[in-house]
Amino acid sequence: MKTRIVLLLLLLIPVALSAREKKSYAKHNKGYFFDAGVAAGCRFPKHNEPILLMEVYTTHGYQFSNTFSLGVGVATYNTETINAYLQTRFNLRNIDEKKSHYTYIAVRLGYSWSTWPGDAWGDDKGPLIDPRFGWSFYTPSVNLRWSVYAAPSFYQFNFIPKIGLSFEF
């Protein structure tokens, strides 16, 4: 339960802070950015039934231009892991105020630890590689940039295909 509360706070604090700012999200401006999102996927362990996973995450970083950003983030799968990662993102279009959508590619590299208490705490750990292909949209009526994506992730030596929804600030 503590893990869920901490993750909720990690997601909501940046949203509350950015709500005070009156900037347009029609394009990615240079400077600080963050995103928060959810993804659903399925893990396929050897000789076992597939396991449905729900990921909740947030990424914080710096937008160097309107086509390139670099950030760090934290995520969890079903509140059973803590995943720390570094993310690079390349927008495949030069974004301006007139275009309301564009495609992007992103790559996350990181490490994952289990949150199980007792003897097995931290035993379930390993690398995280998460390439993404997504489509970002701008909704001018609410000044909101959001994206959908597909990611063929590799998590603790397991393949996890997933799809997700992200809100960009």
Q: What is the pLDDT of residues 68-105, one digit of tens each?
A: 999 999 999 888 889 999 999 999 887 666 677 899 99
Neighbours of 100 (CB within 10 A): 13
Confidence at residue 9, expressed as pLDDT on a 0 to 100 scale: 54
Confidence at residue 43, expressed as pLDDT on a 0 to 100 scale: 83
Percent of the chain residues topping a pLDDT of 70: 76
Query: Does residue 54 surpass a pLDDT of 90?
Result: yes
Confidence at residue 169, expressed as pLDDT on a 0 to 100 scale: 87
Terminal alpha carbon distance of the chain:
27
Task: Name the least confident of 19-23, 141-145, 150-154, 165-169.
Answer: 19-23
Confidence at residue 35, expressed as pLDDT on a 0 to 100 scale: 94
Beta bridge partners of residue 136, listed in sequence order: 102, 147
- Its pTM stands at 0.81
Mean pLDDT calculated for residue range 43-62: 88
Q: Residue 123: phi, psi to the nearest 5? A: -70, -35
Cβ–Cβ under 8 Å, residues 53 and 160: yes
pLDDT band at residue 5 using 50, 70 and 90 as cut-offs: low
- For the chain, list the domains and their CATH numbers: 2-22+30-168 (2.40.160.20)
At residue 17, the 3 state secondary structure works out as helix
Confidence at residue 10, expressed as pLDDT on a 0 to 100 scale: 59
pLDDT band at residue 2 using 50, 70 and 90 as cut-offs: low
Query: Does residue 16 surpass a pLDDT of 60?
Result: no
